[in-house]
Amino acid sequence: MQVDLNESWRIGAVEIPSRLVLAPMAGVSVQAFRRQGRRFGAGLVCSEMVSCAGLSYKNERTLGYLRIAADEHPLAVQIFGAEPGVMAEAARMVEDAGADIVDINFGCPVRKVTKTGAGAHCLEEPARACAIVEAVANAISLPLSVKMRRGLANGSRTCLEIGPQLVDAGAATLTLHPRSAKQMYTGEADHSLTAELVELVDVPVIASGDITSRARAQTVLATTGAAAVMVGRAAQGNPWALRQIMGEDAEPSREEVVAELVLFMRETIREVGEHRATGFLKKFYGWYLGRGRFPKPFKQELVQLQTLDEVEQRLLAAAPGAPGARFVLERLEDELPQGDEVLLDLPISIYGGG
């Protein structure tokens, strides 16, 4: 059975225009990444996880995660923490910033998060997890989503026990990545659990994990009954993966790859400032230029350059063919929607890029 990925669906009152969701990824899902994802077919994009404690303390860098562009909608902003009251306060700030959905992270497997009682650890404390969901749901008028793992240990079925409880507490949708926290990103995602969860709850379920191709997306949707699929690592430096999943198979030219990377660089600099962007962008060079698109030494050459302007000029020189990366870049910039960002009352250094 073929599922129409271009079909819209809803999370609460929010209409999602396609059944493809771009995952929240720490150190990746900046605004430039999310805006690109929307251009390439993602119906819903998500921020990287935002610390509720950082928001509570008005930490400048944490507040910077709440900058939202007009062309990102619908957008989910993901928060994490272990205290219901603090999470509720953070959710109100997310709503004030202009997000469409508040997402709670009960899936992060990283030790520095789980040791605080947040992320995937919350699955081991159902009462606390439900209290968090209830507090957040009561604090906002937006739909609330929850992203979770199968549990902490390999073979765990905790997600099936706690999922219905989270819905009763106020979750309007659940996202399941059916790996254990212990697995991190090894092994395979067990989407038989996703199918079981779909049968247990009366809200949409988003299937996350190993969605790397159109065939895989179709298989997971057809066999689980999930409302949508979530794509994560497959889209890192490769927005064309989203387009392929949506049904367009054309491989990008070198000129298109360079143009998208340079645009991503420029947008990231605008968002976080050149100093922070310089280190942040280095991992993206390999992601964009790999997959046989450019010789491997080229990425190392870029990493050695001292300034982002030098990187940009070297990239543009590497793809001069017709119509040329510069021409493609100019077209992309002309097509970018123009609109004001929605911002909280943030320090000027944040939205000024410093």
Short-list 113, 149, 135, 143, CA closest to 12: 143
Short-list 193, 178, 191, 226, CA closest to 11: 226
Q: Which among 108, 122, 130, 159 is annotated as catalytic?
A: 108
- Among this protein's residues, is 108 annotated catalytic? yes
- Contact between residue 154 and residue 191 where contact means Cβ atoms under 8 Å apart: no
Crossing angle of helices 126-139 and 84-97, rounded to 10°: 40
Report the DSSP pairing between strands 9-11 and 14-16: antiparallel
Residues marked as catalytic: 108
